[in-house]
Amino acid sequence: MIFGVSLVIEFFNTVGEQFMRNSLLELTAVVFAIAYLILAVRENILCWVAAGISTVIFLAIFWDVKLYMESGLQVYYLAMAVFGWHQWRQVGNGSTSLQVSMWSMRKHLVALALIAMLTLISGYLLNSGTDAKLPYLDSFTTWASVVTTVMVARKVLENWVYWLVIDSVSIYLYIDRELYFTAILFAVYIVIIFFGWFSWSKNYQRNMEAA
């Protein structure tokens, strides 16, 4: 019992120290990241603007804590924010130019195999040639996010399932690097993911019935 209380006290002391060091920057990134996901759930094109802002901030944060794959991922996210904006661009009748769809099992198998292969390759390279922390986990969340962001940009329904796995792993990754606000952000993400799944599922069913 005493040991458990000590861990809780140590946790809050560490969070307090981090808050004093860089809380404003990280919290700003967190706010825009949450805004991105909420807007994405609503299929609002402004989600890509929020994504771009949070991405630039997280790029600097992750590099500082030696999560190099996560830092590099932010460059990709920035490019995907532009791509996503283009894909979701509103057309003349006021509706979006892209509807929610689903991938075939074959596409999912290819995506999973690609993620596994790239994770092993970059994880090995980081582990043997750099001072990167948790290189294989860092690589997994990075490459899985690369694939899943494409799914979001293309409005593939199953992206929410992929994010559930990625965000769960990411929470451990960020706690290990003492990025507690970012870990909390991803915990919030997990809650929002379920709303995203049900909202996009409803739209998918509506589109199928109207087809």
Q: Report, in angstroms and rounded to the nearest whole number, the Rg of the chain calculated over CA atoms.
A: 18
Q: So what's the pLDDT on residue 94?
A: 47
Residue-level pLDDT at 67: 77
Q: Which among 33, 148, 154 has a CA at the least distance from the CA of 83? A: 154
What is the pLDDT at residue 6?
65
Ordered per-residue pLDDT tens for the chain, 211 residues: 555 556 566 666 665 665 555 567 888 888 898 899 899 888 898 999 999 999 999 898 888 877 787 788 889 889 989 988 888 885 434 455 678 999 999 999 999 999 999 999 999 998 898 887 888 998 999 899 999 999 998 899 999 999 999 999 999 988 887 778 778 888 988 999 999 999 999 999 988 887 6
Q: Residue 129 burial (CB < 10 Å; 0-12/13-18/19+)?
A: exposed
CA dihedral 188, 189, 192, 193 (to 10 degrees): -150
Task: List the domain range (segments joined by +) for residue 82.
Answer: 2-210
Number of domains into which the chain is organized: 1
In angstroms, the CA 32 to CA 136 distance is 27
Percent of the chain whose pLDDT exceeds 70: 85
